[in-house]
Homo-oligomer: A and B are copies of this chain.
Amino acid sequence: MKEKLNANAQAVLDMVRAANNHPTASEVYDAVKVVRSHIGLASVYRILHSLVEQKYIKELRHSDDTCRYDGHISRHDHAICTECGALLDVPVDIPLTQEMLEQAARATGIELSSHELRLYGRCPACSQKQKQLLQV
């Protein structure tokens, strides 16, 4: 796969972009099959990888040992639920100074190209469940 996306790849990309959660390969497969019924799971994996390589989408990996995909390629941060593992986009920008980042990068010796802040805590849904449990 070079540059132009074929019908399968376009369908996969559309699906990942349309999803507001971060779908797994299997979820993408199920959704794309509705539109392109012949597509195979192996092709979905192949296409997802090539879309990542071409920077159309990003790969996220988290605790439930499945890869998830993100159609929002602009740099942004994530909140991760320590209870259920949900991975939420942080919709605001956290203004870290270039200085801070560079100082940290220098300390490790890496050539900094990007960064991501991860916030850990209970997500609203799990927070709610917890409260209900305490009331019983």
The chain A residues found within 8 Å of chain B, CB to CB, are: 59, 61-63, 65, 77, 79, 81-82, 88-92, 94-96, 100-101, 103-105, 107-124, 127
Contact = CB atoms under 8 A, between A and B. Distances in A.
**A-B CB proximity, top 8 nearest:** A109-B124, A110-B121, A79-B108, A113-B121, A114-B120, A112-B121, A111-B122, A92-B107
B117 A117 contact: yes
Most B Cβ at <10 Å: residue of A94, A110, A117, A127: A110
Given A61-B65, A94-B100, A104-B92, A119 B109 contact: no
A43 to B, nearest CB: 20
B124 A120 contact: no
